Structure 1
Amino acid sequence: MSRRSPKGRDINGIVLLDKDVGLSSNTALQEVKRLFFAKKAGHTGALDPLASGILPICLGQATKIAQFLLEDNKRYFVRGKLGQMSDTGDCEGSIIKTQPFEHLSDSEIAKAAISFKGNILQIPPMYSALKRNGQPLYKLARQSIEVKRESRPVTIHKIIYLGYENGMLSLEVTCSKGTYIRTLIEDIGKRLDCSAHVVELRRTGFAHIDTSQTFKFSDLKVLASDDYQALDEKIFASEAMLPNLEDVYLSEIQSVDIKFGREVQTDKQGLLKVKLFDDKKQFLGIGQRQENGIIAPKRLFV
């Protein structure tokens, strides 16, 4: 049974929220935190208010692995409107440029979109949470201040062209961390010389997770009760969200050493991050294995 305190419950794990359109990621986080009466919570992979879809909410100790979740690929459904550029890159902004697009054929649009598959460079949008001298870019943008941004490498693993109708382009995109879908749609518009902006965006995949494994806040709210049992059954174990990391099971002595911040020797070699389990197969956190097999603690649940 989870321990209670006036400040919240000590619960650990991840809630896979299907965020609704119109909510900021922080608002969604606070709603889930209150519903579960969690002492500590954080989200990973923020979504704009315009966007819906998978938003992992980390509870308790699970906030320590948020940075590792961010490394995973994401998948999106996106609709972009051709012929118009917005100052935010989406339909929440003001239209600042219009261009003809009616002459474009379906095949031309498909070819332009699919050409972005692979390793590309993107210039982050001004309306983003990236910081310049400690100030988020979107706050500068709201003051009509624009600063130079360096292009960054990202990878578009897959683009599925879903069609084009009445000026609307539809795509499914699988991409690496740090990819801005708004920028992708804008860049497709530039390549077609017609401008474009996002009108609908939904995150449909996050690492090995898809929307069939998520919960709407309204669904979770129905499960609320004084003992939290039904809600807690919807919490994913932190280690289940890291399927690509190798499992390493430690002895009792090694488990004690790791918990005290000491390195341990294993018989496997190779430089990589690993999931650590103690002698009772309880998840301890993330370790960093060196080429010589020595594992150092990186982010532990202790």
Structure 2
Amino acid sequence: MFFHKKRNINGLLLLDKPKGISSNNALQQVKLIFNAKKAGYIGTLDPLATGLLPICFGECTKFSHYLTDSNKRYHVIAKLGEKTSTSDSDGVIIKKRPITFTDLQLNLSIKELTGLIDQVPSMYSAIKYNGISLYKYARQGLNIKRSARKVSIYNIDAIHQKNDLIEFKVFCSKGTYIRTLVEDLGEKLGCGAHVVFLRRLQVGSYFSKKLVKISDLHELLKKENIKNNSFFNKIDDLLMPVDSPVSFLPEVYLSPKKSYNFKLGQTVNFNSNIKNSLVRVRDKDNKFIGLGKINMEELLIPYRLVSTFGN
């Protein structure tokens, strides 16, 4: 790229991460195309995985943890009869077993893996041990003892098995490792299994119906005239508002005087039927200025403010 001064841009991009690159690689490519000063992604997807990777720019990063903590939905295809070193097809096969389970055994195994379950994260995960991601230890042949975590598998549905492949969709809580889920299923079925296809379909209230591909951005880059900023206008139009990650919270509007005080971090009087709740605060021009909390004394207390927007 040939830009010098990085841009202060703010908003949320719903990226369709391609297969074969890390989430961080995808982020860096997008950040470069947008020429953005600050950006981060939500919820790591393995190189094998595709689908919804939310990218927060600028002030939107202040609210990204609301999406990090949200539920996710995936489309999964696993290969039965083979266990691999990484629990997916990027690894080497370390054990082969015949596929002999019955439909009843499959249904029981799915049932056992639904609800609140314990999961031991894969060594090939981004979880950090002593500040270093586990997968970096794994690549050196090291095995770090991991504690089991509680995760919720709300449902596993659309299950279809044919020969040595099984396909399903899973709706789960934050922190769920699909590779671990598939490996655990393989062990319950007595044949082993590993992920061959994984696509994230949903993060919180966002679905994968209107995702932006990196290739789409490159196409715009080719077509538009960057010198007159038409390219940046086009790609900035793809961004969702800064408060998108907190769109589930109610909105309140402040007068110019109260907006001014609120933006300075001051508590303001505010009569509302909303009590003891976080709210999205907007000024009279409908501009989002941050999160506040309304308490029982009818006061609006600043909770997380956004800096003044602008390039």
Same fold (TM > 0.5): yes
Secondary structure at the aligned position of 1:212 is classed as coil
Correspondence list, 1:18-97, <5 A? 18-97=16-95
Segments of 5+ residues of structure 1 without an aligned counterpart are: none
Correspondence list, 1:273-288, <5 A? 273-288=278-293
CA-CA distance at 1:141 after TM superposition: 1.4
Query: How far apart are the structure 1 equivalents of 2:12 and 2:243?
Result: 10
Q: Measured at CA, do residues 16 and 289 of structure 1 come closer, stay the same or move farther in structure 2, by a change above 3 Å?
A: same
Question: Which residue, 111, 123, 126 being the options, matches 1:126?
Answer: 123
- Residue 138, structure 1, aligned to residue 135, structure 2: yes
Partner of 2:159: 162
- Residue 109, structure 1, aligned to residue 106, structure 2: yes
CA-CA distance at 1:273 after TM superposition: 3.4
Q: Greater CA deviation, 90-99 or 260-269? A: 260-269
Listed one character per residue, the Cα deviations across residues 148-174 of structure 1 (whole Å, up to 9, x for unaligned) are: 222111111221142111211111011
Secondary structure at the aligned position of 1:203 is classed as strand
Listed one character per residue, the Cα deviations across residues 173-227 of structure 1 (whole Å, up to 9, x for unaligned) are: 1111111111111111122122211111000112222222111111122222311
Structure 1 residue identity aligned to 2:92: S
Partner of 1:255: 259
Structure 1 residue identity aligned to 2:305: L
Query: How far apart are the structure 1 equivalents of 2:190 and 2:295?
Result: 49
| 8 Å contact from structure 2 (residues 12, 244) kept in 1 | no
Secondary structure at the aligned position of 1:170 is classed as strand
| 8 Å contact from structure 2 (residues 63, 245) kept in 1 | no
Partner of 2:191: 194
TM-score by length of 1: 0.90
Q: Greater CA deviation, 213-222 or 263-272? A: 263-272
Secondary structure at the aligned position of 2:190 is classed as coil
Q: CA RMSD in A?
A: 2.1
Query: How far apart are the structure 1 equivalents of 2:297 and 2:144?
Result: 45
How high is the sequence identity, in percent, across the aligned residues? 42
CA-CA distance at 1:271 after TM superposition: 4.2
Query: How far apart are the structure 2 equivalents of 1:98 and 1:291?
Result: 62
Structure 1 residue identity aligned to 2:284: D
Q: Measured at CA, do residues 148 and 11 of structure 1 come closer, stay the same or move farther in structure 2, by a change above 3 Å?
A: same
- Residue 299, structure 1, aligned to residue 304, structure 2: yes
Secondary structure at the aligned position of 1:171 is classed as strand
Q: Greater CA deviation, 65-74 or 275-284? A: 275-284
Partner of 2:179: 182
CA-CA distance at 1:258 after TM superposition: 2.9
Q: Measured at CA, do residues 166 and 135 of structure 1 come closer, stay the same or move farther in structure 2, by a change above 3 Å?
A: same
CA-CA distance at 1:51 after TM superposition: 0.2
- Residue 173, structure 1, aligned to residue 170, structure 2: yes
Q: Greater CA deviation, 140-149 or 243-252? A: 243-252
Segments of 5+ residues of structure 2 without an aligned counterpart are: none
Count of aligned pairs:
297
Secondary structure at the aligned position of 1:68 is classed as helix
| 8 Å contact from structure 1 (residues 272, 290) kept in 2 | yes
Q: Measured at CA, do residues 232 and 81 of structure 1 come closer, stay the same or move farther in structure 2, by a change above 3 Å?
A: same
- Residue 221, structure 1, aligned to residue 226, structure 2: no
| 8 Å contact from structure 1 (residues 276, 284) kept in 2 | yes
Structure 2 residue identity aligned to 1:286: L
Query: How far apart are the structure 2 equivalents of 1:289 and 1:153?
Result: 33
Q: Greater CA deviation, 142-151 or 104-113? A: 104-113
Partner of 1:208: 205
- Residue 240, structure 1, aligned to residue 261, structure 2: no
TM-score by length of 2: 0.88
